Amino acid sequence: MEPRPKLRFKRLSCPEMDTPRNILDCHSGHQPPQLSGHSDLNLWRLRMAVRIAAALEREKKTATGSLV
């Protein structure tokens, strides 16, 4: 069996990981930009949620052996 590759994102210890907001609030790997507008922060959170979801999807595909 091959060793699993290291993950780019840390595992989260937050019990409520269902929503992107909870993922980003608990995620310590990246800090949100210090911006004055709420829309900029929301955009950053959305981008981070998409990046995390894509990384988890790639990890799942790699684990099942179906790289497409």
Indicate whether 19 pLDDT > 60. no
Choice between 55 and 38, residue whose per-residue pLDDT is larger: 55
Cβ count within 10 A of residue 52 = 20
How large is the average pLDDT for residues 48-59? 96
pLDDT tens digits for 23-49?
Answer: 545 555 666 656 556 688 899 999 999
Instruction: State residue 64's pLDDT score.
Output: 85
Residue from 28, 16, 23 nearest 54 by CA: 23
Q: What is the CB-side half-sphere exposure of residue 24 using CA atoms within 13 A? A: 18
Instruction: State residue 16's pLDDT score.
Output: 47
Report yes or no on whether pTM surpasses 0.75.
no
Cβ count within 10 A of residue 41 = 15
Q: Is 33 exposed, middle or buried (0-12, 13-18, 19+ CB in 10 A)?
A: exposed
